[in-house]
Amino acid sequence: MRNILASALLLCAALCADTAAALDSTGTPVVVTPLADRTETASGQPITLPQKNVEVIVSTFDIAVGATLPVHKHPFPRYAYVQAGTLQVTNVETGKSNTYKTGDFIIEMIGQWHQATNVGDGPVKLLVIDQVEQGAKNTVLRQ
């Protein structure tokens, strides 16, 4: 009987994983919507994590219409979810640009100079997640 119950639970878990749905503790459906699945940054680099004590920093960014951020780079991984607006990110070393819109997930380039411009008609709102060595900053401005 236990083997049948265990098999049924495994089958249920497999089906839920395939449909990206699950149940919360009250039996109410919880819908899981994958937003990104990547192994490389926006410029094609492999994602590498800090080697020392890792600190996760979560922030929000509000970028005004027409605003351009200064040229900068990140020594550690930075991820951003575009909650609203349209953002163009340009790698100033290669000249390549990517445009991100509401609902997009950005895996920023590491150690490469770039800048971002709000190219939309409304503010850009980002949810940003940094993974840094504890106590380190993740933005370096070009002098």
- Cα separation of 133 and 135, whole Å? 6
The pLDDT of residue 80: 97
Do the Cβ atoms of 103 and 111 come closer than 8 Å?
no
User: What pLDDT, in 10s, does the model give residues 11-66?
Assistant: 334 434 444 455 556 777 888 888 888 889 989 998 888 888 999 999 999 999 99
Q: What is the mean pLDDT of the chain?
A: 85
User: What pLDDT, in 10s, does the model give residues 101-115?
Assistant: 999 999 999 999 999
Confidence (pTM):
0.76
Q: Which helix (H) or strand (E) holds 6?
A: helix 2-19
56 vs 30, 33, 76, 104, CA distance in Å? 26, 22, 11, 21
User: What pLDDT, in 10s, does the model give residues 58-89?
Assistant: 999 999 999 999 999 999 999 999 999 999 99
First to last CA, the chain: 69
pLDDT band at residue 10 using 50, 70 and 90 as cut-offs: very low
Q: Regarding the domain delimited by 54-141, which CATH topology (the fold level of the hierarchy) does it fall under?
A: Jelly Rolls (2.60.120)
Return the DSSP state at 69: P
The pLDDT of residue 83: 98
Do the Cβ atoms of 106 and 35 come closer than 8 Å?
no
